[in-house]
Amino acid sequence: MPGWAFLGEDMEGKIYKGTTTVGLVCREGVVLATEKRATMGSFIASRTAKKIYQIADRIAMTTAGSVGDAQFLARLIRVEANLYEIRRERKPSVRALATLTSNLLNSYRFYPYIVQLLIGGIDDEGAKIFSIDPIGGAIEERDIVATGSGSLTAYGVLEDRYSSELGVGQAVELAVRAIFSAMKRDSASGDGIDVVRITEKEYYQLKPEEIDEIIAKFRK
């Protein structure tokens, strides 16, 4: 899937590109990571942009695109996940939420939400990640995926070091390395890293100091 993202729009309707997000499927679950910079052209609009949202018990969504569209969709899909659980008396699967999101985006294809999403997590079928484009095209990514303007650099790191036998700790380190490398080469990516690891036991967002410890290993 194309590695692009939208993060702003000027008064003339010009779309600006930015962001790096990555996802990895590993032995114990899924790891999702993003950087924190939001840009409007050459202007850094925010250094603390949130790009990973928990949308269900063991499922998260990363966002690249228009900030308003991304935030609205995160709220909407979280509500739909809760309604799904109430109506069906079971937790939604990763595939179910990806399909729901895909259908929603496709229904607005002529006035699209300007987003590119990753939906990943773990359910009864195992660990899964889906990438979803602005008009609802959904692809199951069985190993690694990266989106955004820094995705080419991130893919270079992921392709070189990824193995399906990675444990969740190793996958976290690889995700951080991929985002960190993208931040060094892509001016629209930067200002810190957010990482979520999802296993059968927990949904856990790494603390900043934990990420700093991982980065420190790269600099030795």
Strand segments, DSSP code E, in 103-182 are 115-123, 126-132, 138-141, 144-148
Cα separation, 158 vs 151, whole angstroms: 10
CA nearest neighbour of 143 among 123, 158, 154, 126:
158
The answer to whether the CB of 61 falls within 8 A of the CB of 119 is yes
How far the first Cα of the chain sits from its last, in Å, is 34
Tally the C-alpha atoms within 13 A of residue 13's C-alpha that lie toward its C-beta.
0
One-letter identity of residue 166: L
What is the maximum span of the chain, computed from C-alpha positions, in angstroms? 52
User: DSSP string spanning 22-67?
Assistant: EEEE-SSEEEEEEE--EEETTEEEESS---EEEEETTEEEEEEE-H
Choose, from 19, 34, 62, 101, the residue flagged as catalytic: 19
Is 101 an annotated catalytic residue? no
Antiparallel, parallel or unpaired: β 20-25 and 144-148:
antiparallel
Element (H, E) at 143: none
Catalytic center residues: 19
